Chains A and B, each alone.
Chain A
Amino acid sequence: MKALTANRLTDGEVVFWKQGQWLDRFADAELFDDEAVAEAAEAHAKTQVTLLVEPYLIDVAEVEGGVAPVSYRERLRALGPTNKPEHGKQAQGGAQIEILAHAHGAASSKGRIDLIKRK
């Protein structure tokens, strides 16, 4: 699954594509199952030069309670900085924000963690 994101030109705000509109919340993002449709949307976004900076597709996956971006970096963009919960989109709170905040990385590094035991 994919979603389309960018930063808004005038203020840098993280935005997500939904059927031709650009919205602030990841919860409102259109989810693409079809790669070709996603790429067509991205190609269109790249022409919206007075609206956006650097539109790109991100991987999205199902998590407990809903969907969330796969990479930690993208979840952080959809939430805001963790050192200041009062800043960024997370400040609004709500169930959708909770889902993102509690999502974990799709990749597991468990093997690594087990290596590191205290004597």
Chain B
Amino acid sequence: MYRYDDIDQAMLTDRAAEFREQCRRRLAGEITEDQFKPIRLMNGLYLQLHAYMLRIAIPYGALNSAKLRKLAWVASTYDRGYGHFTTRTNLQLHWIKLKDAPDILDALAGVGLHAIQTSGNCIRNLTADPHAGATADEADDPRVWAEAIRQWSTFHPEFSFLPRKFKIAVTGATRDRAAIRIYDIGLRLHRAADGELAFEVLAGGGLGRIPFLGPTIRERLPARHLLSYLQAILRVYNRLGRRDNIWKARIKVLVATLGAEEFARQVDEEWEASDKAAVDLPDTELARIRAGFAPVGFETLPPVSAAFETAKLDDRAFARFARHNITAHKQPGYALIDVSLKAIGETPGDCSAEQMEVIANLAERYSLDEARVTYEQNLILPHVKLDDAPAVYRLLADADLATPNIGLISDIIACPGLDYCALANARAIPIAQDIARRFESPELAEKIGELKIKISGCINACGHHHVGHIGILGVDKKGEEFYQLTLGGSGEDDASIGQSLGPALPAERVAPAIDQLVEVYLRERTTGERFIDTYRRAGLAPFKEAVYAEAH
């Protein structure tokens, strides 16, 4: 795993010291809350309903045992012994005290963790394919490029005051596991027919009040020009993006207003006029970063593991786990293991300090000291020997981390919602808990197959509801929690924005409505169809009819 160099490390230490002084001044009354608020936000410290919340960046979702252990230590020392992984692969601690924040940032800096780029109108923490470096369908390791963007964008003076926050997702694989179409910029590495490594560049995606899937603005950008091209996009956005209306300030509105073609033309014009060499990564620097991600420690193994195959035959629970939580690795004899943070009835994305310790130990002992965070609020042990998979499974199961539900109906994305978030209209977590309990039976969940439910507590859409096969949005109707359902969204390869099912439902009607939707699906589906396929074929009507008395 890439390690921060001395420059990064010194920067983090300085930043923590600076924040300590700023906190002191705020507590002493030398600066006002209005002056302090942007400063604490720039350090990831939000004030939510019950306490301060610290959002810790996990660049491209990459963790190792030292980082996980430090997060566990911070969570149990300064918070209530748990953390919440988000759809931006950050970790949020929900019970932080302002007076502890400087000590926490110091502790995090010690292992190269921080809360930079987790707030404000800057380029936010990068996300990437969580299978990076482990999947066979990859043209290049996206972490190399994500790290280059991280270094380039951190504290970038020109892009510290954009019209609005800016999110980038990167993948190097054919299959999209990074939801690249729903972000301000999506990047997909591929190898062109002549062998050149290139990016497909998407811009102007985003959820929120007005959802858009990002159109491709350049099919083939030579990879070496990534940074100069990003600079051109950001310059056009910085110049033309709206600053008068917060709801129209994201780049998606600019791209939609200009049209993707015109936007691309302006970006090209800016790009051609710029001094590319001054910005693009020198080959030596790229090689240095790349070396940080070089695979180390893989053994030469046969592709089939007798231990793994026997365990599947002997233990049906393990076989089920293997079907849903274990994925093929590019290295023969290895696999990726999904660690489900969606135990039935628990809060999606929550991970206790003890669980973090367990995962740290497993990463260190069995996964070449790596763990990943996925945007679907789970973790991954990316490099486990098939021979070791049964042992890893047992240790995960002992810590309630082996729910065999990845991609299934109980693998629900839910934002913190009104239980924590100051912006929320309604709760998201209890809705997820209700649904998961209703579909607790692993046999039933397996019979239903892939079904992605995504819940947001307000239109900001941190829970990605627009791109859920079933999306659930919390709304406030005269002070009560109601939920708007959408169907047919998808965030990945077959990306689409969900369509509204009908009038919003009261909280207690949501889980029964999911039941009704699933019944329709099971009745209507033809062989091999997933929920979303049936919806796409049969349309909204049968689903709507099942949930509402009137279909109009």
In the complex, the answer to whether B481 meets A116 with C-beta atoms within 8 Å is: no
In the complex, the answer to whether B482 meets A11 with C-beta atoms within 8 Å is: no
Contacts of B424 in A (CB 8 A): 73
In the complex, the answer to whether B505 meets A53 with C-beta atoms within 8 Å is: no
Q: Of residues 361 to 391 in B, which have CB atoms within 8 Å of A's CB atoms?
A: none
Contacts of A11 in B (CB 8 A): 51-52, 97-99
In the complex, the answer to whether A108 meets B478 with C-beta atoms within 8 Å is: yes
B430 in the interface (beta carbon within 8 A)? yes
Q: Mark A1-34, 1 if CB is under 8 A from B, else 0.
A: 0000001011111100000000000000000000
In the complex, the answer to whether A109 meets B33 with C-beta atoms within 8 Å is: no
Chain B residue nearest to A7 in the complex (CB): B47
Task: Compute how far the CA of A11 lies from the CA of B47 in the bound complex, rounded to whole angstroms.
Answer: 10
Task: Compute how far the CA of A17 lies from the CA of B33 in the bound complex, rounded to whole angstroms.
Answer: 19
Task: Compute how far the CA of A68 lies from the CA of B315 in the bound complex, rounded to whole angstroms.
Answer: 53
Contacts of A108 in B (CB 8 A): 478
Residue in B94, B96, B427, B504 whose beta carbon sits within 8 Å of that of A112 in the complex? B504
Chain B residue nearest to A113 in the complex (CB): B506
Contacts of A10 in B (CB 8 A): 27, 97-99
In the complex, the answer to whether A107 meets B549 with C-beta atoms within 8 Å is: no
B176 in the interface (beta carbon within 8 A)? no
In the complex, the answer to whether A116 meets B98 with C-beta atoms within 8 Å is: no
In the complex, the answer to whether A117 meets B549 with C-beta atoms within 8 Å is: yes
Q: Is the interface of B mostly helix, strand, loop or mixed?
A: mixed
Contacts of A14 in B (CB 8 A): 49-50
Contacts of B505 in A (CB 8 A): 116
Task: Compute how far the CA of A118 lies from the CA of B419 in the bound complex, rounded to whole angstroms.
Answer: 29
With A12-B51, A72-B481, A82-B419: A116-B95 Cβ-Cβ less than 8 Å: no
In the complex, the answer to whether B546 meets A119 with C-beta atoms within 8 Å is: yes
A81 in the interface (beta carbon within 8 A)? yes
Task: Compute how far the CA of A52 lies from the CA of B32 in the bound complex, rounded to whole angstroms.
Answer: 11
Q: Mark B1-38, 1 if CB is under 8 A from A, else 0.
A: 00000000000000000000000001111001100000
B503 in the interface (beta carbon within 8 A)? yes
In the complex, the answer to whether B477 meets A109 with C-beta atoms within 8 Å is: yes
Interface size on A, residues (CB 8 A): 36
Residue in A13, A87, A88, A107 whose beta carbon sits within 8 Å of that of B479 in the complex? A107
Contacts of B504 in A (CB 8 A): 112
Task: Compute how far the CA of A118 lies from the CA of B517 in the bound complex, rounded to whole angstroms.
Answer: 12
In the complex, the answer to whether B480 meets A107 with C-beta atoms within 8 Å is: yes
Query: What's the minimum C-beta distance from B506 to chain A, rounded to whole angstroms?
Result: 5
In the complex, the answer to whether B80 meets A87 with C-beta atoms within 8 Å is: yes
In the complex, the answer to whether A77 meets B503 with C-beta atoms within 8 Å is: no
Contacts of A36 in B (CB 8 A): none
Contacts of B51 in A (CB 8 A): 7, 11-13
With A11-B99, A14-B49, A53-B47: A118-B482 Cβ-Cβ less than 8 Å: no
Q: Of residues 54 to 107 in A, which have CB atoms within 8 Å of B's CB atoms?
A: 54, 70-73, 76-77, 80-84, 87-88, 105-107
Contacts of A12 in B (CB 8 A): 47-48, 50-52, 96-98
In the complex, the answer to whether A50 meets B50 with C-beta atoms within 8 Å is: no
B420 in the interface (beta carbon within 8 A)? yes
In the complex, the answer to whether A118 meets B480 with C-beta atoms within 8 Å is: no
In the complex, the answer to whether A49 meets B29 with C-beta atoms within 8 Å is: yes
In the complex, the answer to whether A82 meets B95 with C-beta atoms within 8 Å is: no
Task: Compute how far the CA of A113 lies from the CA of B549 in the bound complex, rounded to whole angstroms.
Answer: 12
Q: Mark B48-87, 1 if CB is under 8 A from A, else 0.
A: 1111100000000000000000000000000010000000
A40 in the interface (beta carbon within 8 A)? no
Query: What's the minimum C-beta distance from A114 to chain B, rounded to whole angstroms?
Result: 10
B247 in the interface (beta carbon within 8 A)? no
Contacts of A9 in B (CB 8 A): 26-27, 33, 98
B125 in the interface (beta carbon within 8 A)? no
Q: Mark B273-313, 1 if CB is under 8 A from A, else 0.
A: 00000000000000000000000000000000000000000
B201 in the interface (beta carbon within 8 A)? no
Task: Compute how far the CA of A50 lies from the CA of B23 in the bound complex, rounded to whole angstroms.
Answer: 11
In the complex, the answer to whether B427 meets A77 with C-beta atoms within 8 Å is: no
In the complex, the answer to whether B98 meets A81 with C-beta atoms within 8 Å is: no
In the complex, the answer to whether B98 meets A72 with C-beta atoms within 8 Å is: no
In the complex, the answer to whether A119 meets B549 with C-beta atoms within 8 Å is: yes
Q: Of residues 429 to 444 in B, which have CB atoms within 8 Å of A's CB atoms?
A: 429-430, 433
Chain B residue nearest to A70 in the complex (CB): B479
Task: Compute how far the CA of A49 lies from the CA of B418 in the bound complex, rounded to whole angstroms.
Answer: 26
Residue in B29, B80, B482 whose beta carbon sits within 8 Å of that of A109 in the complex? B482
Task: Compute how far the CA of A81 lies from the CA of B506 in the bound complex, rounded to whole angstroms.
Answer: 19
Residue in A80, A81, A87, A105 whose beta carbon sits within 8 Å of that of B478 in the complex? A105
Task: Compute how far the CA of A12 lies from the CA of B424 in the bound complex, rounded to whole angstroms.
Answer: 18
Contacts of A118 in B (CB 8 A): 516, 546-547, 549
In the complex, the answer to whether B32 meets A49 with C-beta atoms within 8 Å is: yes
Task: Compute how far the CA of A73 lies from the CA of B347 in the bound complex, rounded to whole angstroms.
Answer: 19
Q: Which 9 A-B pairs have CB atoms at the shortest separation, nearest pair first?
A: A107-B478, A81-B419, A12-B51, A11-B97, A50-B29, A117-B549, A107-B479, A12-B52, A83-B429
12 additional contacts (CB under 8 A) given A11-B99, A73-B418, A82-B427: A7-B47, A11-B52, A49-B32, A50-B27, A77-B49, A81-B420, A83-B427, A87-B95, A109-B482, A112-B504, A112-B506, A116-B548
20 CB contacts below 8 A, A to B, read A7-B51, A10-B97, A11-B98, A12-B52, A12-B97, A14-B49, A72-B418, A72-B479, A82-B419, A83-B430, A87-B50, A87-B80, A87-B95, A107-B479, A107-B480, A109-B477, A113-B509, A115-B503, A116-B505, A116-B549
